Structure 1
């Protein structure tokens, strides 16, 4: 599929017309179109680089198993203590939920295994009930 667009960041008749029209209708629109014409390719590269960098940071956090938690102090000791207690409580609830999810996933795996085993046993019984020519008996 061709990825060229009608309006690409270049000096084309369409972009020039949109820029002029933007200045006539509302000058910030014309200015935005001019910026797109001049810096459009760099903005696409900038966006791709920013996305790659953010993906790398969050992938690193996932690999290390750490969660983001702000460690700054407000200066109010009572509030900081309360906040720490609440964050600890929430972390404990998250840990319990993760354990419950693991238990449920394990249950589902066992359920699928049991179902597969039952289907396999039924298949083997039916296979053993075949006649001498490999035909299933008439029911």
Structure 2
């Protein structure tokens, strides 16, 4: 896990709650859960407040608690940023466009494959149904 530390001037301006939140975010989800359990053990309203805060801020359901550091690691953010080299940016844009086209073509292929499978299953169902109707009609006539 990469940790991004705040400058000293920013840390000094943050309140105790913000500093505690940043510290727990740096430690990960396990630290939040441990703090909540300890809160329940020592004074149950603190544990309940931590649980409510974790659910409200969606920390309970994220794969990582530190949203601030994950934003800079986001692939979407990094692919849209210019590198400063016009030739490389043109190459990157063309490559991303080509990959998007390939993805669309592959998804269209998968859709055609699913449609063909659905049609084959439906045709098999209709053939089985016609066969059972024919057998019932033949047994009724006999």
TM-score normalised by structure 2 residue count: 0.51
* Aligned residue pairs, count: 90
Q: Separation in 2 of the partners of 1:122 and 1:42?
A: 62
CA RMSD of superposed structures (Å): 3.2
Out of 121, 125, 134, which is 1:116 matched to? 125
Q: Separation in 1 of the partners of 2:139 and 2:49?
A: 77
Out of 91, 107, 119, which is 2:116 matched to? 107
Q: How does 1:126-137 map to 2 (within 5 A)?
A: 126-131=135-140
Shift of 1:73: 1.6
Query: Using CA pairs below 8 Å that are at least 6 residues apart, which structure has the higher relative contact order?
Result: 2
> Which structure would you say has the larger Rg?
1
* SS of residue paired to 1:74: coil
Shift of 1:126: 0.8
Distance 1:103-1:38 versus aligned 2 partners, 3 A rule: closer
If each structure's helix is expressed as a fraction of its own residues, which one has the higher value? 2
- Once the two structures are superposed, what CA deviation does each residue of 1:30-61 show, in whole Å capped at 9, x if it has no partner? xxxxx85763332232227987xxxxxxxxxx
Out of 48, 51, 65, which is 1:40 matched to? 51
* SS of residue paired to 1:130: helix
Q: Gaps (5+ residues) in structure 2?
A: 1-36, 63-75
The structure 1 segments of at least 4 consecutive aligned residues displaced by more than 4 Å after TM superposition are 35-38, 48-51
TM-score normalised by structure 1 residue count: 0.52
